[in-house]
Structure formats: C-alpha cells, structure tokens
Chain A
Amino acid sequence: MKRIPLHEHHVAIGGKMTPFAGFEMPVRYSSDKEEHMTVRQGVGVFDVSHMGEFIVKGPQSLDLLQWVCSNDISKITVGQAQYGCLPNDKGGIVDDLIVYKLDDEEYMLVVNASNIEKDWNWISAQNRFGADMIDISEDIALFAVQGPRAIEVLQKLTDIDLSGISFYHFTKGILADVEMIISATGYTGSGGFELYVPKEHAMAVWNKIFEAGEPYDIKPIGLGARDTLRLEMGYCLYGNDINDSTSPIEAGLGWVTKFTKEFINAEQLRTQKEAGTGKKLVGFKMVERGIPRHDYSILNESGEEIGYVTSGTMSPQLNIGVGLGYVKTGYHTSGSEIFISIRDKKVKAEVSKPPFVAS
C-alpha cells in the first residue's frame, strides 16, 4: 500500500485512513455529511496526492495526445485544461483524465491513481510518434481547495488575481511562497482550485492554507465526502461508472469525444454515436425511501431487469438517495419511472438529469 506525502499529518489530525486505489487515503476526518456541507457552503481541502501526473512534451506531443485522447487537444491554448477520456481499442475506456496545456509543446495529463501504471503502459505503447513522456506522479502533491470561500482563502496567499482564472484554466505561479500550478478545476461542483505542489513543499503549503482559512472555518475533507459531492453533480468515477468495457458514448461522454480528428477506435465510437447504443448511463433520484448502491439491479415496473446501478448514495443536501446507472435505451429519458432492487424490494426511482443540486 502506497502513502501520500502528508500521510502522517492526516493520521495526526484524525483522518480515518482506508485503502483506495492502492493508497492509504483519508476517507473522513469527522463526518461525511458535515464535510460535504463544509464544501458546499464554505471551504474544504482534499489531499488527492494519489492522483497521477504525466508530462508529455516535444514536437510530437500533440500528435500522440490527439491519437490517445477522445477530446480535441488542438482546441486548448496554453493555460487551459480539458476533460476527456482515453478510449481503448475494444469500445471501452482506459481512463478519464484532464489534459493541461503547459506550453506550446508540453502537456500535463492528470489520471486516476488506480490507473497510473495501466495508463502509462497504454500511452507508451501508442507512442509511435516519439513524444517524450515523464511520470511525475511521485513528485507532486495535489490539494483540491473547494467551496464558495476557496477563492478568498487562497487569494490571501498569492499576488495572482485568482478571479481572473476562468473555469478549466490554470496558471503557473507563486502561492504560499511556492511555485505551483493553480488550476480552476475540481470534482465537487462548488468551485475552487486544485493546486499541484512539489511534494517537498506539501506540508508548508497545507499549513499556510489552513492558517489563511481559519477565519472561514476551513476543514480537511475526506474521500467519503468527495464521492457524495461528485455524485450530487453526476460526475463519473472511473471504476464505478466507466471502465474498460463501457463506451464513452453510452457513458454520456459524447461531449468530450470529438470526431474532428483521428483517434483510437474512432470508427466504432462514431458508429455508436450515429446508430445509438443499447444502454445509457443516467442519473436518478429515489422517489421512495432507499439508498441505491453500486451493483444493485435496476428494474422496470413489471420487475424485469433493465440495468444496474454504478454509483449511489444518500445525498447529504437533498436527504434522498441519488445515483448513476446504466439502463436500456428507452428508459433513459428524464422522468422515466424505474425501480431499484434493494434487498429484494422494488423501490421506486425516477431518471433525472444531473446535477441533482444547484451548483
């Protein structure tokens, strides 16, 4: 089991550590619900240093990325980030990722911790272009400072005008006396920034953020709340909602799958986009009381299985069960009545387009 740079600190401040994606990660410090609401209403900090980062650079970097990524990397300019996925050659997804354009011929790929090795091997195997690749995952600590007050807290620590960084843009600069990437991204729907910090400065930066955030009642936030926050927004989690065998088209990632360029398995995906897919990933809210969980069956009125839940939780904000799951095409439209099989009971739910809460 791997450890993130501030492991000891998380234990010391009461973080309950749990295995996740090959790392021991803080799942909660106090309460999932309390941490969730802290991010929705104030400001909280996630240590997500388990995430992987690769640098791809050189004259061939764009060619390689256009080939392996579903999204059109030529559309982003220096200082911009873009969400997309890595399609495999069998119709599924190797991983989802964010691509940062650092310079004209230099990019940073941020990938899921569980997939660092798989992604590295996959992209390397596709690199007939000869782009330079460097895995910097072990050198970088990543702090997601999220919530409506995040900008006020971080602004105290930098001369860069943070309000000038638009969503899915970033800048390289000094914050808390350390040079880092300051990115207006996140996985919560509550706004804020993600900070890519050289790991030797991780502790100092963390401490300065908490000092600056004290008047705002800043709190450390665990992976438990990270999951409920992302689910209320309907964001996909690799391994749950998307995986090696789900297609980007059926997963609703058509908006980041661009047929304006050649890429791995584009033909099959284009056919799916044109002809439609047999199942679709949808969001749903429970109408009757119950909490959907990963792998529960989704049924129709007459009790036939029409799909399965991929993620589910009690929404701390709505206080009802919400989830994501695949259903047969036809049941995917908003308002469709579906049923979740919970302990052999048919519990009513309704297909509903995320986000489930206002962002």
Chain B
Amino acid sequence: MNAPENLFYTEDHEWVRFEGDEAFIGVTDFAQGELGDVVYVEIETEGESLDAGEVFGTVEAVKTVSDLFMPVSGEVLEINPSLEANPELVNSDPYGEGWMIKVKVSDKGDKLLSAAEYLEVTGG
C-alpha cells in the first residue's frame, strides 16, 4: 500500500494534489484495494460548489458501492474523462490516471492528513 509524500489525504481515503488554487482529487491505493475492481464512477457534480465532507460522487466496484467525499471546499471544474470508458484506472493507477475530479479550491480546511498521518489511519 502506498501513499505518496506530495499528496494530502482524508480519513475517508481520498487524496488531494494541489496545483496553485486548483486541486486534483481521487481515492487512495488503500481505498481501491478495499473496493476491488472498480466498474463505474458516477460523478454528476460538475460545476457545483461543494463543502469539504460533502459527497461529490459514487464509486461502484463489482462487490461494493461507496460515496466519494470532498477533501476540500471548492467548485468541481472537471471530471476525469477517461473514467467513463476505463473505470479500472482507479485500481491500476489511483494517484495518476485514476484521478477523479479537478476542483477550484475555496478552502483547504484543517482536516487534511499528511502521508505519514494517513498511513497511521490505515494501519501502515
């Protein structure tokens, strides 16, 4: 299980990568391992402004379904277009090609975890 140092994390197993006032968001390697084969990512919040902790979409795996939570507050600018045809990117490359949304960040909040803190949450 890996958690890159340059990302921030939530206890709900999302990650955030900041790029200026924008951020890319996805689910962690731990999360994809727990979910199993991802078969459908449903995100219908493009253009919406959401608070940290609000649901921005749903990820469906073969065996499970799980809500996706905003790690920060902001406006959803873009949904990863590749996930429509290739949802399995969430499994194969959770921190790269498997990103889920790009947001314009309005508030980072104070609940984000560092990689080391996140690894503690997942038991290493």
Contacts and interface: CB of A to CB of B under 8 A. Distances in A.
Nearest to B40: A291
A289 B65 CA distance: 14
A228 B62 contact: yes
A257 to B, nearest CB: 31
Nearest to B63: A224
Contacts of B62: 32-33, 224, 228, 313-314, 316
B37 interface: yes
Size class of the contact patch on chain B: 10 to 19
A193 B63 CA distance: 25
A314 B61 CA distance: 8
A32 B34 CA distance: 12
Contacts of B91: 31
B12 to A, nearest CB: 18
Contacts of B61: 32
A9 interface: no
Given A313-B62, A313-B63, A316-B62, A33 B37 contact: yes
Interface in A202-246: 224, 227-228
Nearest to A316: B62
Contacts of B42: 343
B65 A314 contact: no
Given A32-B63, A291-B60, A291-B65, A314 B36 contact: no
A11 to B, nearest CB: 15
Contacts of B63: 27, 32, 224, 227-228, 313
B58 interface: yes
A50 interface: no
A28 interface: yes
B40 to A, nearest CB: 6
Contacts of A31: 36-37, 91
Given A31-B37, A291-B39, A314 B58 contact: no
A348 interface: no
A343 B58 contact: yes
Most chain-A CB neighbours within 10 Å: which of B39, B40, B61? Answer: B39
B76 to A, nearest CB: 17
Contact of B37 (A27, A32, A293, A343): A32
A75 to B, nearest CB: 37
Interface string B2-44: 0000000000000000000000000000000100110110100
Contacts of A314: 39-40, 60, 62
Interface in A311-339: 313-314, 316, 319
B65 A224 contact: no
Nearest to A224: B63
Contacts of B36: 27-28, 31-32, 224
A314 B58 CA distance: 15
Nearest to A34: B37
Interface string A179-201: 00000000000000000000000
B54 to A, nearest CB: 15
19 contacts: A16-B33, A27-B36, A28-B36, A31-B36, A31-B91, A32-B37, A32-B63, A33-B37, A33-B62, A291-B39, A291-B40, A291-B60, A291-B65, A293-B65, A313-B62, A314-B39, A314-B60, A314-B62, A316-B62
Instruction: List the 10 shortest-distance A-B pairs measured between CB atoms, nearest first.
Output: A32-B62, A314-B39, A33-B37, A32-B36, A224-B63, A32-B37, A291-B60, A31-B37, A314-B62, A293-B65
Given A228-B63, A293-B65, A343-B42, 11 more contacts: A31-B36, A32-B36, A32-B37, A32-B63, A224-B63, A227-B63, A228-B62, A291-B40, A291-B65, A313-B62, A319-B39
